[in-house]
Amino acid sequence: MKQLNHYPDSLCKNPTKYCEGCGHGVIHRLVAEVIDELGIREKTVLINPVGCAIFADRYFDLDSVQPPHGRTPAAATGVKRVLPDHLVICYQGDGDLAAIGTAEIIHAANRGEKFTTIFVNNAIYGMTSGQMAPTTLVGQKATTAPNGRDPDAAGMGYPIRVCELLASLDGTRYIARGAVNNAANVRKTRQYIKKAFEAQLSGKGFTMVEVLSPCPTNWGMEPVPSVEWLEKNMIPVYPLGEIKNTLDTAGGAK
């Protein structure tokens, strides 16, 4: 593995457009480090849709495709089937994946499509001014829920635990949830990403790593309190760890 102080070859040295304290930059770094470690930059395709994820191709020195909002798994399915020897990565936010793209991700996962989704969950719509997302916590304030998410209010409901939902499908092989709130969790998240990528390259089925990430701007916080808020409020609702792992079963999952 390359030293941690080495700037990843899979990242471009461009000034960031992300807000102060945003977790996207850390997640980009983890993904790029694993790509470099596996030596597959020339055979990696990034699929990044509308939302803050749309900026990802400014920073990754990779081939990329930008599909319409929520259609990332459909685009990834096509790319992976045409280029089965490539690493295909869906890089999606919670508004994209868990709202307009819910049907896409569920059916791709159920079919066992052999790509990997990096699911960035900051419990809010980041690019479009902080509306309530499917992952917004009960009581959490948003521009469309100024008094906080209320499950009894019309149209609000409860937060969706995407990992647990997809883990129930037979087509999924590896589902994990990490976070970027401290060094220990960053290291674990990197391990999850590497395991998901290796499973894809070995021809296993659908893999996904959800990453809990702060959004200080739309949470109305400074960066340090936002990290503390994530640890105190998000992790109890979205517990960390490997949610589903069928890669190590006898005979290996196909």
Residue 2 lies in a domain: no
Residue 98 lies in a domain: yes
Confidence at residue 2, expressed as pLDDT on a 0 to 100 scale: 47
Confidence at residue 249, expressed as pLDDT on a 0 to 100 scale: 62
Strands across the sheet containing 44-47: 63-65, 44-47, 87-93, 116-121, 206-212, 172-179, 241-245
Residue 179 lies in a domain: yes
Task: Residue 165: give the domain boundaries.
Answer: 24-245
Could you write out the DSSP letters of every residue in 148-187? -B-TTSTTT-----HHHHHHTSTTEEEEEEEE-SSHHHHH
Q: What is the mean pLDDT of each run of 10 residues along the chain (254 residues)?
A: 72 91 95 97 94 88 91 96 97 92 96 97 87 95 94 91 98 98 97 98 96 95 96 98 86 40
Domain of residue 226, CATH code: 3.40.50.970
Residue 216 lies in a domain: yes
Q: pTM here? A: 0.94
Confidence at residue 5, expressed as pLDDT on a 0 to 100 scale: 66
pLDDT by residue (tens digit) across 113-152?
Answer: 999 999 999 999 988 888 999 999 999 999 999 999 999 9
- Single out the residue of 194, 229, 154 nearest to residue 1, CA to CA: 194
Residue 16 lies in a domain: no
Confidence at residue 157, expressed as pLDDT on a 0 to 100 scale: 93
Confidence at residue 253, expressed as pLDDT on a 0 to 100 scale: 41
Confidence at residue 53, expressed as pLDDT on a 0 to 100 scale: 85
Confidence at residue 252, expressed as pLDDT on a 0 to 100 scale: 41
* One-letter identity of residue 3: Q
Confidence at residue 95, expressed as pLDDT on a 0 to 100 scale: 86
- Single out the residue of 79, 104, 238 nearest to residue 160, CA to CA: 238
SS3 state of residue 3: coil
Strands 87-93 and 116-121: parallel
Confidence at residue 251, expressed as pLDDT on a 0 to 100 scale: 40
Residues 34-69: b if buried by 16+ CB within 10 A, e if exposed? bbbeeebbebbbbbbbbbbbbbbbebbbbbbbebee
CA distances, 138 to each of 134, 145, 149, 180, 231 (Å): 11, 10, 5, 22, 16
Tell me the C-alpha distance between 180 and 214, whole Å. 8
CA distances, 58 to each of 25, 146, 171 (Å): 11, 33, 32
Residue 204 lies in a domain: yes
Confidence at residue 51, expressed as pLDDT on a 0 to 100 scale: 83
Residue 88 lies in a domain: yes
Which helix (H) or strand (E) segment holds residue 27: the answer is: helix 24-38
Domain count for the chain, please give it.
1
